Chains A and B, each alone.
Chain A
Amino acid sequence: MFRNLFTGTSLGLLVLLHGGLRAQEDSSRIRVNVVLVQLSVAVTDGKGNYIGGLKPSDFVVTEDKIPEKLAGFEEGVTTLTRAADDTGVPMSATAPPPISAPGDPALPSATGGPQPAGASVFILFDSSNYMYRGFVFAQDAIADFIRSLEGVSKVAFYSYSRNLSKITPLTADRSAVIRGVRSTVAGDDEALYNSLLLTLKDAAPLHGRKAIVVFSNGPDNASMVPPEDVAELAQSTGTIIYMISTREALNDEASTTVFERISKATGGKAYFSKSWKDEKMAFESIREDLAHLYSLSYYPAPNPNQGWRTITVKLADKSMQKYKIRTREGYRLQQTSQVAPIAPPGREWPGVPTPQ
């Protein structure tokens, strides 16, 4: 039942924006989307094993300390460690079936193991000159990662240097994505946060689990937007950011810190690898993580706060307090224009009427 709600269409709720225009509500026409708030939640034990088999009633969600009622719930896949095994509480023998996007039959992976269900994954590949030496190894690793997601998720492949390059739009066609990976060319400067922002805008309208996997090899040296703005947009749109970074970034303490915090704030993780082999391990970890996330959603209860809203997720049962929960920290209301993707190239002209 929850699932039906969760998979419903946009579910957008329009409300008047508070703040600077409150004094002129009559004339204000700008509205914001208070969308169904979606949370991707990882529950792990002390050893980092994923905990599965939890029910909606096991979760307590608050927003600015206001209790929220779940409107949707989904578990990724059956996990190796089940809460029931640990607690003795009777649990369902099988986890809820994963949801697949139309045209995305849930197929077993070529490499086996759990798979993320219905997730949309954007891979953001650093093609700046930092990447020159590791360029081809990184491509190999990314190609493997994409293969391991075969038939399960939709994947987009973007590369970036000073500008973003949308090489392969979101698609279920694995071959198309791999062709995109192999067609990347090396660029110049690195504008990671600019590119993340633009990628987030593409991810914003999507429903279900969505993640951006960033493969960066150095500190940003060309972005206009700061990481704070990117983190807020990611959290506000419910997009997880995973960062994989290699040698150059490790030499820059500011970048390392930002990578860790930006991913943590969105419910993701940061990985720092010294070699391309480590990168493959990071990809494997991300694939596992995506596969085991719970999806929770709720319509926010009345909340006068028009600024930052803090989200807290806890497990209800005392016996489960030992588990760790990882999810986004909150969100901020966004104007429709802020989360609208930029019109794609080609022959789509949204917003331009046909002359009479």
Chain B
Amino acid sequence: MRFHRRGLYLFAASLLGLGSVTFAQNSTVLIPGPLRSFLRMAGVSQKAAPEDILPLFARSVFIRGYSGGRPSEYLMLLDRYVAQARELQALAGPAGALKVTNCTDAVPLLQILGYRIRNGCGKTTLLTTADPDRAFLTIDSGFPLPQLEEALQNGQTFTMPYTYSQVPGLLHEGDWFSISTSRRRGISSLIDAIVDDPSVARLYWAMSKLDPETRNVLLRQPGLRRLAPVAAVLDFYGGELTVRDNRVIVPGGPTSDNAWKDIVGASPQSPGDFILHLLAKDRGWTAAYFDAMSRASREEQAHLTEPTRMKQLYEAFRPSDQDPPATRGVFRRAPDILVLFSRANWAPDGTPHIPGDIDTWKHILADAPRNHATSEWAKRAKGWNRPEQVLQGMVGISRTDMESGPLQIFLQANAIDRARGNAKPLDPQTVRLMASHFSQYANWFPLFAEFPELDNDSIQQFINTAQAVGGISNETLRGNALGSFQAIVGIWQVLARQDEIQPAMLNASWQHILEPFNKVQNDTELFDHARESLGQLAMAAAGKPNCTQDEWISLLGGPNQSSREARAMQQEMAGRIRSVMIDQRLVSLDTLFAFSDGLSALSQGTTTADKLLPMAEELREFEMPRAILTTMERIEWAPRGYSIRHAQLQARVDMTKLLKSQPNKQQLENARGTLAAFLRDTLVGLNYAYYEPPGAQMLHHNPVFVRAHDFTGATVSSPERAWMIAELFGTGSPASGGAYLAGSLADLPFALAKSEQDFIVPENVQALIWRELVPELLVSASMPRWWEITAPEMHAAALYQRAGEDLIDLARKSPEVRSRVRGILEDRLTVGQMITVDDAWNSKAPTPPKIAPADAFYLTSLYRTRFPQEQAWSPAEQELEALSKEHPEESRSDRIARDFGVPHPVMDSSYGRNLLAIKPFPFFGGFSSRLFGESWDSNNFYWARLADELGYQPVMLHRLVPELTRRMTAKIFASHIEDWAALDRAMRETGEDFRHTITAQKAAQAVASSVQ
């Protein structure tokens, strides 16, 4: 959306022999009334750059302006606002100001505003609604009504400048009128043209995303009128289109021109023709294919665009006549082809890496859920004998959106093999086993990519154990078993991640904790086996068979620390966990185990009931929140489905009665079984507490949040979802006892973040980036721990970023450096982002281009790798060089990328953290919407730099990162879903607020100490 800086763009059409043709790429568009009001009504961020305003407005119109082909409330209000603004402007007259000196003067203005005077003129004057429709516009657009009222009360003159606002527009306004299909007569402004015709709005938005050179070519040929019918394709899949030197930049570069010509039916060297063919061909799917390939890294492109391969892959991807267009629906299609092209794995001989073997994939396709794509490819697969064919099959089925089909299995298996370094790849048997249970355990398999130490046996054992637990017929027992099993696996994952289980012990300890769960028959056994499993985990992490609850919390709080600050922080982290456990009113492990032992002893006659009474009392202390509704009211008003029965049952448990009734052995044994439900909740609570998102409220104020977790999937229609990432249910239902999670503990940080995100109080109204992105931001703060980060490593992270910024500044002056920098950044930045960098490079202003912190890190890292002989280009790079020599391990870029990166469970099929050489993904609907959120990976790099520059110890990141992230989230003020600039702005504003405060505090301390 950068077009204002280029001014009048001159395009020489001499190549066509037409002589010089001038295209006005921008103009000035007049918007009635103050810009602030227009932005409010249009749903555009107040912080949007001037040149972005009309494109964002156009986007809002076609996204939000129509429902079922009819104007929405949003559009009607906007239209009426524009009319009101014109009336006010007429009232303001040539002077361009609304002026009111007394009550009489005020009447015409108030009529337009929809208000009237109450209580006569003078001190008691009040303004009150006369026409609610107009008054609503007045308020919603932010007219300063209180100031007018105060002026009338005080007998002062109210003056308000009221005239047109000017914003840059794309092309001449008339260019857009000419393609409008609106029936309204007398359209005289771009605003009207956009409001009246969603196809104009969409084309405007789509064109604004192109760089000026590309846009200019398209304006010349095919021109706006011929582009209008393919506006939706251009919008969804045209973002990476680039024309340079009158040729389309195609994936694979010029050597791929011919292959693309064959696919598209026009030569990249005839850019207008090529692009129109690309957009129109195969109902948009050709453009989708081109876009997916454009977004892959250069390295991946080199593999994918090998001419024969590229054409074969397209033939596989190409739709049949019956397939729907690529633009059907609100979101773009085929997200998985982007992932596949971005994360393909290649064998040393250049062929695609195929997990297992080719036969494995024949079977997987044969067994896949039937749809048009899988049926067709299952037939074709019978003749497969080359890896290329498997890749083609995956590309072929990628057009069909599936959550757990063969392609998702392929991506997951590839991720595990990649994590294993392809040294000990998955064997065919394991791949087939994974595939046959993928619909159930898809969200658990990324754990095996995070911990490649877990071998094929461990994967198989996980599946077998999960099957055993999931196969328990009694629903209550199954729910408790699932919760206990998953919770212990979750604790293992935390301890493994925190290096509290030695790498050499990971595989064995994994198998040891799973084994006890294979033989659960009843509640008592569940209690005993869960305890045994926990004992195995204690042995692996603490070297002893039993840990107290405090010891468990301490282990989760973090590994043992040597420095005073780190020890204090470890205790603080443990304290946070303890706080959640208390607020959830969970019974301690110590009480549960001691009580169980006591019941056994009582059964054997080695203790007496009265000695157990205090512990029995502790179990009774769990109280449900005081009910507001009666049971009958709940039954009537709560939605059908899951209830808080599990928690209510616990509240009713009264072991004291049993102990006072001289129970027999069987009753005592059954009583031990009752404890299984409490044990499950305590173990699950430890997981919840560990991943507490910043600003969490549910964990502290809804004491049944943990207990209400539905593990059996009773809430959801499909039992298979019981193993999937938990979903939130019960929101907005006052009679249901609060929201709760239904599903498994897989990717719990994300599920919790989704549950807690709405408690963050935005600083700005109309903060439009929210549910689609915020959970990922919160996960990036709640999941990482910083125990292994040393001061040199944090300093190196800061230096990489500073050196990257220096490098990009240097590229302004040096064409050679610019070329190199561009070559690196093109793998991380979208075309739109690259245009911004180009604009800054070409600008006369001294401000260097601003790139995101992770991109700056990436740039330095790659530049140093690609040009190792290069002289240090800045003091930061010099210092980094010195640091690398002194602390080579802690300065390694792959280590820093891992430590400050984010998890990419969807993009990379792994819960491990990393920084990927991937451009930001566009937004998709459904489960793939996470691809978009996982694209933002700069926060922790930036927070680390901030901490380093302000002089904090790395361990303080435990406190800083959640708080900074929470505040950043509150500051997001975006206009549309892919408004990356808004994220960057919110992050830097937060950082600067923090820097300012700490710097001031330091200065005050310095003054105080100098006085002393």
| Interface positions of A (Cβ within 8 A of B) | 17-24, 27-30, 110, 132-133, 135-137, 139-140, 143-144, 147, 162-166, 175, 178-179, 182-187, 189-191, 193-194, 197-198, 219-229, 231-233, 253-255, 257-258, 261-262, 265, 306-308, 330, 335, 337-338, 342-343, 345-349, 351-356
The CA of A9 and the CA of B737, in the complex, are separated in Å by 36
Q: How far is the CB of B699 from chain A (nearest CB, A)?
A: 10
Contact of B626 among A132, A219, A231, A355 (CB under 8 A): A231
For B942-975 the 0/1 string (1 means CB < 8 A from A) is 0000000011110010011001000100110000
For B691-718 the 0/1 string (1 means CB < 8 A from A) is 0000101101111000000000000000
Q: Are B761 and A228 in contact (CB under 8 A)?
A: no
Contact of B578 among A28, A162, A308, A343 (CB under 8 A): A28
CB-CB under 8 A from A257, the residues of chain B are: 628-629, 633
The CA of A355 and the CA of B738, in the complex, are separated in Å by 41
Q: Chain A residue with minimal CB distance to B694?
A: A342
Is B625 part of the contact surface with A, judged by Cβ < 8 Å? Answer: yes
Q: How far is the CB of A227 from chain B (nearest CB, A)?
A: 5
From known contacts A165-B762, A335-B579, A338-B583, infer whether A224 and B150 are also in contact, taking CB-CB under 8 Å: no
From known contacts A17-B582, A165-B761, infer whether A225 and B132 are also in contact, taking CB-CB under 8 Å: no
CB-CB under 8 A from A24, the residues of chain B are: 548-550, 588, 590
The CA of A356 and the CA of B739, in the complex, are separated in Å by 43
Is B139 part of the contact surface with A, judged by Cβ < 8 Å? Answer: yes
Of the candidate stretches B11-19, B246-254, B394-402, B989-997, the one touching chain A is B989-997
Q: Are A254 and B758 in contact (CB under 8 A)?
A: no
Q: Are B963 and A228 in contact (CB under 8 A)?
A: no
Q: Chain B residue with minimal CB distance to A20?
A: B588
CB-CB under 8 A from B758, the residues of chain A are: 162-163, 191, 194, 222, 224
Contact of A22 among B578, B618, B956 (CB under 8 A): B618
Q: Which of B696-753 contact A (CB under 8 A)?
A: 697-698, 700-703, 728, 731-732, 734-739
CB-CB under 8 A from B550, the residues of chain A are: 24, 27
The CA of A265 and the CA of B763, in the complex, are separated in Å by 32
The CA of A83 and the CA of B909, in the complex, are separated in Å by 73
The CA of A53 and the CA of B766, in the complex, are separated in Å by 50
Given contacts A228-B628, A347-B996, 17 further A-B pairs with CB under 8 A are A20-B581, A20-B588, A110-B124, A144-B126, A166-B761, A185-B139, A185-B142, A194-B697, A194-B759, A221-B732, A228-B627, A229-B625, A231-B628, A254-B633, A338-B583, A338-B701, A343-B967
Q: How far is the CB of B740 from chain A (nearest CB, A)?
A: 9
Q: Are A19 and B702 in contact (CB under 8 A)?
A: no
Q: How far is the CB of B654 from chain A (nearest CB, A)?
A: 15
Q: Are B763 and A345 in contact (CB under 8 A)?
A: yes
Interface range, B side: 35 or more
Q: How far is the CB of A171 from chain B (nearest CB, A)?
A: 14
CB-CB under 8 A from B994, the residues of chain A are: 349, 352
The CA of A279 and the CA of B628, in the complex, are separated in Å by 25
The CA of A12 and the CA of B399, in the complex, are separated in Å by 63
Q: Are B129 and A20 in contact (CB under 8 A)?
A: no
Contact of B695 among A189, A232, A342 (CB under 8 A): A342
Contact of B738 among A185, A224, A254, A335 (CB under 8 A): A224
CB-CB under 8 A from A253, the residues of chain B are: 637
CB-CB under 8 A from B700, the residues of chain A are: 335, 337-338
Contact of A185 among B40, B128, B548 (CB under 8 A): B40
Q: Chain B residue with minimal CB distance to A27?
A: B550
Q: Are A226 and B951 in contact (CB under 8 A)?
A: no
Q: Are A224 and B739 in contact (CB under 8 A)?
A: yes
For B533-553 the 0/1 string (1 means CB < 8 A from A) is 000000000000000111000
Q: Can you identify 18 A-B contacts, CB atoms within 8 angstroms? A: A17-B582, A20-B585, A27-B550, A135-B139, A137-B132, A140-B129, A179-B147, A182-B146, A185-B142, A197-B697, A224-B698, A225-B739, A231-B628, A254-B735, A265-B628, A347-B997, A351-B959, A355-B950
The CA of A228 and the CA of B701, in the complex, are separated in Å by 10
CB-CB under 8 A from A330, the residues of chain B are: 626
Q: How far is the CB of A336 from chain B (nearest CB, A)?
A: 9
Contact of B963 among A179, A308, A352 (CB under 8 A): A352
Is B621 part of the contact surface with A, judged by Cβ < 8 Å? Answer: yes
Q: Are B993 and A346 in contact (CB under 8 A)?
A: yes
Is B505 part of the contact surface with A, judged by Cβ < 8 Å? Answer: no
CB-CB under 8 A from B222, the residues of chain A are: none
The CA of A308 and the CA of B585, in the complex, are separated in Å by 13
Q: Are A136 and B139 in contact (CB under 8 A)?
A: yes
CB-CB under 8 A from B140, the residues of chain A are: 185-186
CB-CB under 8 A from A232, the residues of chain B are: 625-626
Q: Chain B residue with minimal CB distance to A177?
A: B146
CB-CB under 8 A from A222, the residues of chain B are: 731-732, 758
